[in-house]
Structure 1
């Protein structure tokens, strides 16, 4: 907003906008429309489908694969070329289909603007297209309307507006005309109505202060356009790994080419073909596709957990988060008001239940009681149901309300106490009402029953209603002098628990009275009691927060609600530090360095706006933390987009939040986040298993060629045989690891550091060890075959099968990287593992014994006993690396 219209009087606002209460003329409106533009968000530039598809080829490892394909094509190796191209294209297609585009978030925000609006033009009421509203227009709003632009209110009668999409508050905001202090938080600007919010009750009139991109909701859209989308840890690490792998492969290939030509005096064409064979062996051409398939398997697993994935890498990111920043309303809480406590003279009752469900125990001193036995409690319930404009309905198995959420909670209270609400309402006729207004802060109703009695019921702010009373009900239902101190103290205790407090009072009047005036309730009422309302936490959210803490994940609440309410919910759900709270005004006073220091020690941030949420996410990321952000409102969208893993609510969430997020919870259940984190960690473990299996096997294949070239030996395996091995094993054995189940204690491990490399020292040592063992096995079998006088084709066939057998045994080892592989469960494996092993074995039998394939791959039939020797080589490999792992794990355990 260009000017703080909420901080100035109505006359000054009209003057600044060059407007009058009767509205603009048609000529003025047309001129301003030309100046300010239509009341809608500017459409963002969209990338073409072709560019979106080509962007999936933008990866250095893919570039190397494409370069290898060109070289093999130039050398006439069409089979090699076709396989490499097929892998690259498949990877791009899967990514193109799976990944959603967060840029559509702004489109969903544009759809929230009202299509039509009632305005005054030249003193006449008209209905115009919402896009044609301009600053200075006078707009009329009433219950059920969506506010079409930002308005400075100039008239309000019982006006309440639900602003949860902007502020996160579950209770509608009460509107008034008086200006508020400059710099007031968004939720406290009571004289403003904001575009996209919903009028729940009352009527109002306001002058347009901002439209389109200049409105509050438009500023959020602008923030989304400028928010930098961080790459996920997996993508970042794979980019770094691919870059260095490429440099290493090209460097080794160049050195070997120069060495062979100038030192070994080999033919250049022969050396070049050998170098191409080395590249084919060293480049894990199937790795991108297998990683994508691993992520796709995770998508299906998360869908079963009610988490819908919109961008594939976000699965792995969710598994690495160390902080979850969560909205309160609708995420940790039910977004439903419920009466939690009732204070009457001498007693304080507590109530249980779920949201608006009209069932639940009433307790006194933690002991269930029959509520109707307490006269003053029953009277309070009847008064709460009578002084009420809401209605309670059961639809599709769920209890919902129409009207004000707090009034709906009062109806549920009456039913829990045992009052038949419908019977109670039909027994009395409402004859007059004083609607709730922010100026007098109470609602009063006048009722007549059939026997001829007349009663006034009043509900409102305790500090107001108590001052209107002259007496109170005692435990017997009789009137006694008012004890103001008791009621103020009870109200303070409820408020300290984060409850919103309402006072309820009554007065009996003459049955001839049929109208209700303010003086009828001033200083004449009898105080019945207080009710404390709260938006209760989800029971499953409490368990989910505990599970996250056990997994080393810090949960932080970022809400637009009041600090006291947020602290109460924080204590209920088990936040680590619920008593330390920073409000939005506190955040405004902190620079980026101070905020980065404060954000790690604070778990509750209250009265925040969209900029605060975005700053908090950035501050946590500056500490090296991987941040997940959950939310459901438009106000959460920028932070969802910036976070490493944005998680939107699927049922109650706005479209803007869903489009900005990487994941959407189909059941709006915070507990699903803990399940999704477990799946995310499983996906990352499986990715590590894929890499830990792929790199050593590729390195082992490459080493055989490097050693042969350096020492002038015959290649034990030809380039076409190497490609065959990679094709058959990568698309089978590698994919089998994508389906591995979750290992034990997955959710008891702390989150991995954000900068933890995929290729750490442990994996590097494993690559060296396995490469050396592969080298010994291949050259040992090859040397054995030559020594037996076998032709070179048979020796190479035996060496090729040795490579495949060692890869199979290496697979069974990798399946259990955190424990022993020598258990029945580990040996039994999974159905997918044995299917892939069967496919690989069948493929090797075909290429070894089928004459047409023997001609293509230059293979010979292997004798039975030599086949047994090859299998024994695989068993020896497994035994050596398993013993090494157990020694390493025992040393690590002793070091703790």
Structure 2
């Protein structure tokens, strides 16, 4: 193959030793370009020089200082808001409130640190896939050395069980069979011969060859995959939602605070003409209290606890959640990109009924193929043939004399045996064309085999021909052709149907051939628009920025074949840019970048460590059936979070507006600082139990619709303001009328504050019952027992505080009862308001969607009018 006398050129221009052209260059030209002699290898000095230029053959990751990592957990809009609340609490001396807020801040930071650790595991797992050592040729001598020291131009040897240490071109030896499924997604090991490319991280299953290194480290196929993993990742929509909600509330709080300060300063300076330091401190304290009240400090904790309980529920269904936000993302997923091999299919070749050519019996054909197989090699094709035998002991009476394993030159296996009757047989199985050549088949037989193979290829089945000789090899009969196929899992079709019923579109993404992908898609009912990646992706494309026409083709496709890691990543990225939330399933190193980039990456059962490290959801049971349960659980959880958000925003608006309006128009402070702290604690107690609530499952994907959410919650909040301010006006009026004081049992401004405190506690929890379901609050699904009893206990505690005067001035039981009746009556008003608001918002959205559909609908040509007869 090589010219042994070609002089080495190790003074080569190192800039030439890079680029994709090395993958297809003729071997002699390649060795010249690399400046290496195949029989000598590189010199030690040249290897050191190249190591300094190209760097170590290892995956590198960006190092971030520990201090920067720690500071990152306390940065961001929500973190800044919580920290501001803590500072305000410390300034006004509310150390209990300060402690609670700091605890929440540390809790959220700990969760983020845990998520970061899980994310970094993906790259660590990828590093484990690299070969620790390599057998290389330096200065004419073979040696074993760390693989990290390999450089382009090194001559290396690979053999059975070895991990390929770098991207190499094979230059010597007969053949090797390499399992590169984890990298390319192909379901069977690939036979390689001289000149072929072997990828770093793939595993040698058979044979031994030498090769020349053409790429190391981050420039290898494996390294490019790792760089995609390091750069991949989508920001959680829950985080974005919290930032938007926090910003919304802060804007309202700042606006109200400015209005209140202006009014108070004007009143003190102009109207009263009395201004002092105590007045300024009073206003500052009040503004700070208002800002504390506006910050939903418990929101991240509620989100996290709700999703953590959902993760616990999924773990009982054999799904491990490694990224909590994935549960919320799964609720809105509308595209599921699924790997084929081992996910939609069983990942085990199956032999169908043989198609006979010159044979007379199907089982006799399978027996001949089984005799030409060797179980101890654990080859996938051999095991499939042996498993197809109806009688597992049919081969017992045969004595093997000689066995010739498969090689890519002859493309067949062959065995010489002595049958139970003493006759000598030669059996062979392999590529149909190779078996036809072995048998010197007649044109009629050759044409029949070719027709069978073409028919099977159109259906996506592999073809394995079988021949037998009973005269010592002088003549062979082509017994038949065995169709081989990786069959779909028994539950795949039902799972896909269930996903579609939930509003998801399922796309298959596989490294196998297009014909195989199309047949699998046909059997599963996925659609027939299966595209080979090479047909739509440009040669040198940027996976982060696909051309619009390519992105549109990706969106229209039912699936993809012959994909590589950058294709999978680009598919996910393109779908996300077109407004889709994407779930991606996979099990190999080649899936890791797409798994990490997806809104919800799902590592299926038996996945590699790299895939598990990159995924947000890890399935421990085979197949996709658990995803159906995961979607239901995710939508329940999202419903609970949305209910909480509606409640939290509406109640916060209520508290802020009541405090400011009463200060401006009534010159009365409805709540003391202590009351605000106690109110916050009483509200947050039951809120934690919303994670257990009975929530219906949406029939379609659900997402954060912030304009709708903030709009509905704002309207609810304003009606809550009407409720609270109306009761406050009644109380103020009662203070000036002795008969009303006697009726209500209220006589001091301090008791009026207690009444407002009780109304906000009672009204807040009744508001939670209104927001927890889209139906009327008195219709099923009813509150979960934990939520219901948490509300009951909290209300009992609030009544006790107000009746006995604990922490707040006491009020009579009669007034407590009247407040309860008032809040219960308003509960129906709030329920009606919510339903009207949501119906209006959903109707407007539907009208907008129909308008967009009409605008984009192609115009049908108008029929040509028939000529008018005169």
Is TM-score (shorter-chain normalized) higher than 0.5?
A: yes
Q: Does 2:641 match 1:679?
A: no
1:455 to 422, 425, 429: 425
Q: 1:701 to 1:35 in 2, by over 3 A?
A: closer
Work out the CA distance in 1 between the residues paired with 2:117 and 2:785. 32
1:161 equivalent in structure 2: 178
**Greater alpha carbon shift after TM alignment, 587-596 vs 538-547:** 587-596
1:805 equivalent in structure 2: 762
Q: Does 2:366 match 1:381?
A: yes
Work out the CA distance in 2 between the residues paired with 1:151 and 1:470. 37
Work out the CA distance in 2 between the residues paired with 1:225 and 1:882. 48
Q: Secondary structure at the match of 1:204?
A: strand
**5 Å matches for 1:184-263?**
191-227=196-232, 229-263=233-267
Q: Secondary structure at the match of 2:344?
A: coil
Q: With structure 2 as the length reference, what TM-score do the two structures score?
A: 0.87
Q: 1:74 to 1:3 in 2, by over 3 A?
A: closer
Work out the CA distance in 2 between the residues paired with 1:98 and 1:889. 35
Q: Secondary structure at the match of 1:811?
A: helix
- Residues 95-120 of structure 1: per-residue CA shift (max 9 Å, x gap): 43455442332222222122233334
**5 Å matches for 1:465-484?**
465-469=435-439, 483-484=445-446
**5 Å matches for 1:338-417?**
338-345=350-357, 376-391=361-376, 403-414=378-389
Q: Does 2:827 match 1:878?
A: yes
- Residues 209-249 of structure 1: per-residue CA shift (max 9 Å, x gap): 2222222111222233344x321222122222322322221
2:611 equivalent in structure 1: 657
Q: Secondary structure at the match of 2:690?
A: helix
1:282 equivalent in structure 2: 294
**CA positional deviation for 1:504:** 0.8
Work out the CA distance in 1 between the residues paired with 2:727 and 2:465. 84
Q: 1:564 to 1:253 in 2, by over 3 A?
A: same
Q: With structure 1 as the length reference, what TM-score do the two structures score?
A: 0.84
**CA positional deviation for 1:840:** 0.9
- Residues 151-199 of structure 1: per-residue CA shift (max 9 Å, x gap): 211234352111111110011111122x5xxxxxxxxxxx111111111
Answer yes or no: is the 8 Å Cα contact 2:601–2:616 preserved in 1. yes
2:404 equivalent in structure 1: 434
2:865 equivalent in structure 1: none
Answer yes or no: is the 8 Å Cα contact 1:159–1:174 preserved in 2. yes
Work out the CA distance in 1 between the residues paired with 2:808 and 2:63. 52
Q: 1:276 to 1:779 in 2, by over 3 A?
A: farther
Answer yes or no: is the 8 Å Cα contact 2:42–2:154 preserved in 1. no
Answer yes or no: is the 8 Å Cα contact 1:151–1:208 preserved in 2. yes
Answer yes or no: is the 8 Å Cα contact 1:36–1:134 preserved in 2. no
2:346 to 334, 343, 360: 334
1:713 equivalent in structure 2: 667
Q: Secondary structure at the match of 1:456?
A: strand
1:77 equivalent in structure 2: 94
Q: Secondary structure at the match of 2:491?
A: helix
Work out the CA distance in 2 between the residues paired with 1:244 and 1:505. 76
Answer yes or no: is the 8 Å Cα contact 1:241–1:759 preserved in 2. no
1:728 to 678, 682, 706: 682
1:505 to 467, 474, 498: 467
**Greater alpha carbon shift after TM alignment, 116-125 vs 253-262:** 116-125
- Residues 505-540 of structure 1: per-residue CA shift (max 9 Å, x gap): 111134xxxxxxxxx47xx31011111111222222
**CA positional deviation for 1:441:** 1.7
**CA positional deviation for 1:754:** 7.0
2:76 to 59, 64, 74: 59
1:820 to 776, 780, 784: 776
Work out the CA distance in 1 between the residues paired with 2:732 and 2:105. 33
Unaligned runs of 5+ in 2: 1-17, 273-278, 847-870
2:585 to 618, 627, 630: 630
Answer yes or no: is the 8 Å Cα contact 2:57–2:149 preserved in 1. no
1:299 equivalent in structure 2: 311
Higher relative contact order (CA 8 A, sep 6+): 1
- Residues 28-85 of structure 1: per-residue CA shift (max 9 Å, x gap): 5753564356754243233355543432322323323322332332233334433333
Give the CA RMSD over aligned residues. Answer: 2.8
2:645 equivalent in structure 1: 691
2:518 to 546, 549, 567: 567
How many correspondences in the alignment? 808
1:759 equivalent in structure 2: 709
Q: Does 2:782 match 1:792?
A: no
Work out the CA distance in 2 between the residues paired with 1:469 and 1:784. 109
**CA positional deviation for 1:849:** 4.5
- Residues 419-470 of structure 1: per-residue CA shift (max 9 Å, x gap): 22xx444322222233322222222111123532111111111123234335
Answer yes or no: is the 8 Å Cα contact 2:712–2:837 preserved in 1. no
Answer yes or no: is the 8 Å Cα contact 1:427–1:450 preserved in 2. yes
2:391 equivalent in structure 1: 419
Work out the CA distance in 1 between the residues paired with 2:592 and 2:501. 28
1:513 equivalent in structure 2: none
